[in-house]
């Protein structure tokens, strides 16, 4: 069969529009189908209905994930007619890059405008042996953590499967030819476990051998601590890593810093995390943002040690990344060292996260917040 045969009956077939409501967004706002919303199986079905040969699905996916194509015209082993038809029916990227910043440490941050005008952030962080992409899961956040810029404007909606994937592929195309994304963290704007229905299929795609093939052990989902959702996550997809944003060692202080804690409580969160470990065998990371004079005292370190010393756990201490709109600052280095020492004496594994991208507004939600609250730009409703 000739290349032209791939396109037979294409003009008689219906334009490929999504039949599945996979998101909270209004798909009718886009005249073409977002390609990344379609799974391998859905794409295969679309191609079969349009009388396009089956192996073209594999070719297309290789260009999208491994080939770093920026458009259908770059997919040179597909027939010209097929590339043109794909361009009429689909969009590979729906978002627009409205800001791209590169820090002195080579951290890169993208501010992306979605098709409905909302803004999200994606960050690429480089280490000598690791390149990590940090992605958002929602437009805004409803968790209300008082030290985080992500939730200052509230939550607007969940991101779709395609919007989650697009962040990673946008980041992948920032890399040099000899670089590849080795790690993925869902630690950007939003609460990932509040959007599991779209997050899980996106992560499965990125983990797939014909996706980006990022190993499950290199994918981390961060949550403020939603007990039922933590247990649900332990039963779906591969065994990803879980990071729990703890930030305080007792309910009184945590409820002040993380208001959603009033409806959960630390005991329920730790019990769910223990169940996650039981179901997956994956050690839990507990993230703890150090706020100078707030949660960084000797008594806080001792309380945290008491909570975690008997658990298979890792504490990731994060000195506060300053945001001008928030009244918090990082503790002094001696105070941080003292906190670390107390945890280690109790046998708790602890690391201090390196500050990345400080010169490009790399704190979670900071670049989006700055753009949304600019006096020349209205805040989206």
Provide the annotated active-site residues. Answer: 121, 364
Q: Which helix (H) or strand (E) holds 338?
A: helix 333-345
**Is the distance from CB of 54 to CB of 47 less than 8 angstroms?**
yes
| 322 is known to lie in a ligand binding site | no
| 246 is known to lie in a ligand binding site | yes
> 183: helix, coil or strand?
strand
Tokens matching residue 202: 């996106």
* Contacts of 371 by beta carbon, 8 Å cutoff, 6+ apart: 98, 99, 111, 119, 377
Q: On the CB side of 141, how many CA atoms lie within 13 Å of its CA?
A: 31
| 134 is known to lie in a ligand binding site | no
Longest dimension (CA), the chain: 75
Q: On the CB side of 321, how many CA atoms lie within 13 Å of its CA?
A: 22
**Interatomic CA distance for residues 19 and 224, integer angstroms:** 33
**Is the distance from CB of 317 to CB of 351 less than 8 angstroms?**
yes
**Is the distance from CB of 224 to CB of 258 less than 8 angstroms?**
yes
| 321 is known to lie in a ligand binding site | yes
Any idea what the Cα angle at residue 180 is, between residues 177 and 181, rounded to 5°?
Answer: 150
**Is the distance from CB of 167 to CB of 115 less than 8 angstroms?**
no
For the residues of 216-282, what is the DSSP string, one character each? GGGEEEEES--HHHHHHHTTSSS--EEEEE---SSHHHHHHHSGGGGGT-HHHHHHHHHHHHHHH-P
| 190 is known to lie in a ligand binding site | yes
For residue 239, the tally of other CB atoms under 10 A from its CB is 15
| 81 is known to lie in a ligand binding site | no
**Is the distance from CB of 61 to CB of 69 less than 8 angstroms?**
no
| 145 is known to lie in a ligand binding site | yes
Which residues are annotated binding-site positions for S-adenosyl-L-methionine? 190-191, 222, 245-247, 321
Which residues are annotated binding-site positions? 141, 145, 148, 190-191, 222, 245-247, 321
Which residues are annotated binding-site positions for [4Fe-4S] cluster? 141, 145, 148
């Amino acid at each position: 069969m000739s290349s032209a045969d791939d396109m037979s009956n294409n003009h008689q077939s219906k334009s490929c529009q999504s039949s599945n409501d996979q998101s909270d967004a209004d798909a009718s706002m886009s005249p073409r189908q977002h390609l990344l919303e379609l799974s391998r199986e859905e794409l295969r079905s679309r191609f079969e209905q349009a009388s396009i040969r089956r192996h073209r699905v594999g070719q297309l996916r290789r260009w999208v994930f491994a080939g770093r194509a920026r458009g259908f015209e770059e997919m040179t082993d597909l027939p010209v007619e097929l590339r043109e038809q794909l361009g009429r029916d689909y969009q590979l990227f729906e978002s627009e890059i409205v800001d791209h910043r590169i820090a002195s440490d080579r951290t890169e941050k993208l501010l992306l405008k979605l098709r409905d005008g909302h803004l999200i952030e994606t960050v690429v962080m480089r280490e000598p042996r690791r390149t990590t992409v940090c992605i958002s899961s929602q437009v805004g956040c409803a968790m209300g953590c008082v030290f985080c810029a992500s939730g200052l404007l509230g939550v607007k909606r969940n991101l779709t499967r395609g919007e989650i994937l697009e962040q990673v592929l946008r980041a992948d195309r920032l890399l040099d030819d000899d670089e590849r994304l080795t790690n993925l963290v869902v630690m950007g704007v939003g609460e990932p476990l509040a959007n599991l229905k779209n997050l899980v299929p996106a992560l499965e795609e990125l983990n797939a051998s014909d996706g980006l093939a990022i190993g499950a052990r290199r994918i981390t989902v961060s949550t403020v601590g939603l007990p039922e959702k933590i247990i649900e996550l332990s039963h779906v997809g591969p065994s990803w890593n879980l990071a729990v944003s703890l930030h305080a060692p007792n309910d009184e202080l945590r409820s002040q810093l993380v208001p959603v804690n009033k409806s959960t409580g630390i005991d329920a969160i730790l019990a769910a995390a223990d169940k996650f470990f039981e179901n997956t065998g994956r050690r839990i990371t507990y993230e703890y943002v150090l706020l100078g004079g707030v949660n960084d005292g000797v008594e806080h370190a001792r309380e945290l040690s008491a909570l975690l010393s008997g658990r298979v756990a890792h504490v990731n201490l994060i000195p506060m990344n300053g945001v001008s709109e928030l009244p918090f600052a990082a503790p002094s280095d001696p105070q941080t060292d003292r906190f670390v020492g107390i945890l280690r004496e109790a046998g708790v594994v602890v690391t201090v996260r390196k500050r990345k991208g400080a010169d490009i507004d790399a704190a979670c939600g900071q670049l989006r917040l700055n753009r949304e609250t600019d006096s020349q730009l209205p805040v989206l409703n």
